[in-house]
Structure 1
Amino acid sequence: MNLRPTANLVLVLSTLMACATSTPEDQASRLVEKYLNSSSELSSISDARNVYSTTLSALIQRDQSSVQDGEVGKLNFEPLCNCQDTGGIEKVTLNSPSEDSVDLSIQWSSQELPSSITLTFVKESGQWRVDEIRSKDVPSLKLFLSPSPKQQP
């Protein structure tokens, strides 16, 4: 599924949101609408349990709770776009769908250099959740947030 201009993306996402059955496309459209549009001030980090898989949510929560007041953990950006400012989606592509997982690639045009990010969704308890995020700067969010061997008890 390739979506070019933003108007088409909004139309397709609105149509997908109207579907009664939860699909990766449904979840992706909700994430884009809630966290990745240019007027959103929300962060998926604060809603980790509803956005991310159990494993990735636990890593995010561990990172956020491991810092003292006023400090920032490793995750000092919106993980869904690997950015500070959202908006400027140029293209969304659904890759490798299966019954239990699917990859969604998002290409951004609003950053200094065009960039892309891949979200891997898995099905947990009947809901699609983001289980991994890959980009040029962060090849694996799970590895990025995992404690180094020195930090493990």
Structure 2
Amino acid sequence: MKPRLIFIGLLVVSILLVSCSGNSNAEGATNSEIQADWPMLSLDEMTQKADLIAFVSVKSTAEEDRSNGIVAQISTLKVLETLSGQTSGKVKLNQATNYLEKGGNYLLFLSKNGTEEYYFVMSPAGVIKEHNGVYVSNVFGGNGKFNQDQIKNLLLD
């Protein structure tokens, strides 16, 4: 009988320790950061699978609370030049992580999910920010620094 009581006591203490060791903030809520599993796609895979490849400018951003507790950013993008796909001069991008910056210029490889009005980023490699007229990414090979004309030559040849 005594070994059984010791075992039960140890079990209760273990359960209490495990339940109290969670990562909580001062209010007691779990402190979690949104994470996503991204497919790591090559340039060829992104080019083949993308519904839209375009140089864009981010005109506005807005947060949207989802029913699943995730806060998404909806960015309104002005399409500066389309390299593949068809679109009007403006598209909406839905992102749960790695938000685009308002006012930034990007080369984006995007996909659509069924009939939704929004586009989605295909892969982290499919978001290439422009810095002083140069797009820096190792997805194109070489030194990783390309201007808009060089990227068009790489993608359209």
Q: TM-score, normalised by structure 1?
A: 0.25
Identify, as 1 or 2, the structure richer in helix: 1
Structure with larger RCO (C-alpha < 8 A, sep 6+):
1
Identify, as 1 or 2, the structure richer in strand: 2
Q: TM-score, normalised by structure 2?
A: 0.25
